[in-house]
Structure formats: structure tokens, C-alpha cells
């Protein structure tokens, strides 16, 4: 387990100057204090973005299916995010080159693939990263594919709508 102290060299061009500027403008007096505050703000931003994401449990389970085994990285995607690109690729592959006996993700999870892709496409980079992180943590904790299971990693999902019952033919 990691301790409560970290040490790093800021080797990315401009990062040390950026941190120094933030330290001055936020009047914290110390780059160490500022780095700790920045880390806390990033964590807070991920938590806030995750709370704003609106998915059904079936949509979340579908994304977990798609993202199973994907590694987290430090990249933030541009106009559309990592989760979007993974889902779009998986959906297309399942439609174009299905294995015998396998269905599309839409059929498997009873979701509208295009609606989900449209929603994911609109997520900003921080929200996309927060969702990717939640899915990764869900897998790492052997999360349950339920509303409650997703809540354990901070993703509040809605129960999936039940299909409407067909009217009785006698009525």
C-alpha cells in the first residue's frame, strides 16, 4: 500500500512553470501544497463528473462488457472519449464479424447502441475518464452488475426499463 508521501520530478515541459504559476495565483506559498491541492481538485472533478453521468444498469453493464480488460492510462481523449471509441469499435465488430451464436451488444444487453454512442460522444474528457475509471474499479472489485454494485464505485445508474407487457388479445 502506498504511503502518504510522494516525491516526483516534473519533467513534462512547462509543468513546473504551470504549477509555480498556480501556486502564486492561489497564494498557497508552496509547490508541494499546491500539488496536493491539484491532486485533490482532480479527484473532486472526477467524482463530480461521475455523479453527472446518466446510464441505465444495462448500459453500464454493456460498457463493462466492452471495456473488460482495457487498461487505464493518463490520456484524455479530445472530441470523443476512450469509452466512446471502445464501444463504437466493439459494436461495429459485433455487427460486421459476429462469432457463430453471438449477437450484437444491443441485443445482448437490450439497449439502443446508437443512443448510447450518442450519449458517450457528448461526454467531456473528464467525464469520459471518470467513467473509464469507475468501470475499471468495478472490474477490480468484482462488482455486481446491479444498481447497488455500480454505486459502490460511485456510478449511480438507473434500473433498466422493463419491456411493456403486450396487451391481451381478448381485450
Task: Give residue-wise pLDDT tens across range 140-165.
Answer: 999 999 999 999 999 999 998 876 55
Q: How confident is the model at residue 46 (pLDDT cuts 50, 70, 90)?
A: very high
Nearest to 62 by CA among 122, 124, 104, 92: 104
- pLDDT more than 70, % of the chain: 89
State the chain's mean pLDDT as an integer.
89
What is the DSSP code (8-state) at residue 123? S
Q: Looking at the predicted structure, is the pLDDT value of residue 137 above 70?
A: yes
Instruction: Specify the residue for cell string 472530441.
Output: 79
Rg (CA), the chain: 20
CA 78, CA 106: separation in Å to the nearest integer?
26
Instruction: Specify the residue for cell string 479530445.
Output: 78
Please tell me the chain's helix, strand, coil percentages from 3-state DSSP, rounded to the nearest 5.
55, 0, 45
Q: How confident is the model at residue 136 (pLDDT cuts 50, 70, 90)?
A: very high
Per the CB < 8 A criterion, the answer to whether 34 and 28 are in contact is yes
pLDDT tens per residue across span 54-100:
999 999 999 999 999 778 877 776 667 899 999 999 999 998 876 76
The reported pTM is 0.86
Per the CB < 8 A criterion, the answer to whether 86 and 154 are in contact is no
- Write down the pLDDT at residue 164: 55
Amino acid at each position: 500500500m502506498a504511503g502518504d508521501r510522494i516525491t516526483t520530478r516534473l519533467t513534462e515541459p512547462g509543468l513546473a512553470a504551470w504549477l509555480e504559476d498556480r501556486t502564486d495565483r492561489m497564494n498557497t506559498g508552496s509547490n508541494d501544497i499546491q500539488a496536493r491541492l491539484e491532486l485533490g481538485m482532480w479527484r473532486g472533478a472526477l467524482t463530480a463528473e461521475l455523479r453527472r453521468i446518466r446510464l441505465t444498469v444495462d448500459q453500464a453493464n454493456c460498457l463493462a462488457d466492452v471495456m473488460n480488460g482495457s487498461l487505464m492510462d493518463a490520456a484524455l481523449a479530445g472530441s470523443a472519449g476512450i469509452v466512446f471509441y471502445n464501444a463504437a469499435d466493439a459494436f461495429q465488430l459485433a455487427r460486421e464479424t459476429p462469432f457463430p451464436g453471438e449477437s450484437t451488444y444491443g441485443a445482448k444487453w437490450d439497449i439502443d447502441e446508437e443512443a448510447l454512442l450518442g450519449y458517450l460522444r457528448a461526454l467531456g474528457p473528464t467525464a469520459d475518464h471518470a467513467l473509464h475509471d469507475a468501470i475499471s474499479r468495478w472490474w477490480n472489485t468484482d462488482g455486481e452488475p446491479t444498481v447497488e454494485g455500480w454505486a459502490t464505485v460511485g456510478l449511480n445508474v438507473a434500473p433498466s426499463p422493463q419491456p411493456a407487457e403486450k396487451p391481451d388479445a381478448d381485450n
